[in-house]
Chains A and B, each alone.
Chain A
Amino acid sequence: MYRVNPIALWGIFAAALVVASAWSLVTGALHIPSRELVAVLKQGLGFSAIEPVPLHLEITLLQIRLPRLVMALLVGAALALSGAAIQGLFRNPLADPGLIGVSSGAALGAVSIIVLGDTLFSSWVWLSGRWALPVAAFVASLITTLVIYRISTRSGYTQVATLLLAGIAINAIAGAATGLLTFIADDSELRSITFWSMGSLTQSSWQDVAAMLPFIVIPLLLLPLFAPALNGFLMGETVAEHLGFPIRWVKRCIILLTAMAVGAAVAFSGVIGFLGLVVPHLLRLVIGPDHRLLLPASALCGALLLTVADMFARTVVAPAELPIGLIMAIIGGPFFLALLLSPALKPGGVA
């Protein structure tokens, strides 16, 4: 049934991830000579320095590139894994976490802070400082998801069809509110909104990584546990229930966990599209629909793709930077098309 030995595939992904991470650390706008690179790494590992490394090189490696790499790995894994889980839950390969309101909610939260941060929400911004935007985006994304979830849950039973439709309605309302804020925004705020909606890992610091870590690591560890249930869902909810899966509980957990992971990712990195939708697709083409393999592989592959994309984002127009959402679509789109059109694939292999 499997086109590729899954263990071998995981091995390849893990190896590629290590190589990409190392490569990402040594490349960037600022050239760091290999001698300094080794010296900083030695220092970081606790060896005493033979000769002092210039401060700006050390900061670039340890305070700029390293947290950013960790951020890319976490965000990439979170987005792709959540995408795979949501597609499994909705039994629809076109589903993505945006359906349950995460993205539109986060956008509303972020745009509110960008536009109203110095008026209506000034005390909040004053209180929370640079955390104002990510926290607002995260909270707004969770609230939106909960509203959609409540609407579609009748007497403890969540209907997937209602969830989808309620999601569309609530997304439209949140989108309208965001649009209204965009209308009253001034020029510089508009540019900030545009940049936010194209995604960026520029601001990643160790504090950011620490703040988002629990919200991403918990879903990363727990979501793969639902793989057998999601396999059951492939045959329809009723069948899954007859197979003995506690489907209410499964649905609730998956929705909450993905909302948490995607909400945190979007809050810190803005909107990075494509990853959650396409990575699970790619992998289904290669390893088939078994979620026990698909979910961990999605996380690995998502982390790999985002790390590589971020490397491009940082270097292509250096010393400036391209939004990573753009890079994602530019390199991912054609790659995905090529794979779709590849003669090695049998027709109908997508589903």
Chain B
Amino acid sequence: MKVWMLPLCLWALSALSTAGSAYAGDETRVISIDGSITEIVYALGAADHLVGVDTTSRYPAAAQALPNVGYMRQLTAEGILSLQPSLVITTAEAGPVAVLEQLDQAGLRVETVTTDSSIAGVYAKIRRVAQLLAMQERGEELIGTLQSNIQTLQAQLYDRRWQAPPKVMFLLAAGNHGVMLAGKNTHADAMIQVMGGVNVVSDFNSYKPLTPEGGLQTLPDIIVVADTGSGGQAPASERVLERFQLLQHTPAARQKRVITADSMLLLGFGPRIDQAIEAMAPAFYVSR
């Protein structure tokens, strides 16, 4: 039933939007394809221009109510065109290439923002998105706020810094299934560097399932658990320590340096990076 009504609704919708002639007007209609870019658009106060997002855009919650063009590596040209955007902002991860080519052919402006997992990278990303939306001033303002917040946080961290950089274990934990350990070349690894720590993992890239013994072996000073969505259960850190009893013998668990926060916040490298640092900071203060 619903299926049959859909073309009808779509027809009505597009009839309405063609009446406004989105292509001709100077009104900007933006599709944001990347969670961090969507966050930046909202932080800039340009949410009114958003007509569509992708599945990685889950913050703020309002973004989830927008039309969703699917997963960023599995885009479809017609779906994007049907929202009649005047600008598509995305990162280099978007694909497939053939679809981006089709969009280009159709005369659509697709802007790829290069990303770099660092604080400077976040500033550059904000600057670029602000420029694309012709909101440079607002962008600099946002960067300024972030800079001063981060400076304060980093000064606090510096005051209570370790003699040698602490060894950090970064875990990704979902509801009831596997716990993944973050290796090199991950957003998690970049975040550890932002916090002035070193990753306990040095011998593999990306994420690997955590094994009980492997976890103990690395003797982390700090454990960060990025919660990928537990839906009202006990905090992810408690669940992880319960499942991996051996971890309770690590320096991190004995000194209660285990911290949990939402994975989107910790790994987003978006305009909430100051909040991410703030969330992790308590575990990174050395005790005197």
Contacts and interface: CB of A to CB of B under 8 A. Distances in A.
Contacts of B207: 186-187
B82 A63 contact: no
A202 interface: yes
Interface string B65-90: 00111110111111111110000000
B107 interface: yes
Contact of A319 (B71, B76, B107, B186): B76
Interface string A312-335: 101111111100000000000000
B221 to A, nearest CB: 26
A320 B72 CA distance: 10
A251 B93 CA distance: 45
A60 B78 contact: yes
Interface string A53-65: 0111001100111
A318 B99 contact: no
The number of chain B residues touching the other chain, given as a range, is 35 or more
Contact of A55 (B11, B73, B93, B107): B107
B82 A31 contact: yes
A56 B107 contact: yes
Contacts of A65: 78
Q: Interface extent on A, as a size class?
A: 35 or more
B105 A320 contact: no
Contacts of A317: 70
A242 interface: no
B264 to A, nearest CB: 13
A29 B3 contact: no
B99 A30 contact: no
B78 A314 contact: yes
Interface string A178-216: 000000111110011001000010110100100000000
A35 B230 CA distance: 51
B108 interface: yes
A291 B150 CA distance: 73
B271 interface: no
Nearest to B96: A203
Nearest to A56: B106
B102 interface: yes
Nearest to B73: A192
A186 B79 CA distance: 27
A28 B74 contact: no
A240 to B, nearest CB: 45
A321 B76 contact: yes
B14 interface: yes
Contact of A31 (B14, B68, B102, B105): B14
A60 B205 CA distance: 40
Contact of B73 (A33, A60, A188, A320): A188
Nearest to A114: B73
B164 interface: no
Nearest to B9: A318
Nearest to B13: A31
Contacts of A191: 71, 73-74
A59 B3 CA distance: 26
A28 B186 CA distance: 38
B73 A27 contact: no
Interface of B: 3, 6-7, 10-11, 13-15, 18, 23, 52, 55, 67-71, 73-83, 93, 96-99, 101-102, 105-108, 186, 205-207
Given A185-B206, A187-B207, 19 more contacts: A28-B82, A29-B79, A31-B11, A31-B82, A59-B106, A65-B78, A188-B73, A202-B77, A203-B98, A205-B101, A312-B3, A315-B3, A318-B6, A319-B52, A319-B67, A319-B70, A319-B79, A321-B74, A321-B79
Of all A-B residue pairs in the complex, the 6 with the closest CB atoms, nearest first, are: A319-B79, A320-B70, A186-B206, A31-B14, A29-B82, A30-B82
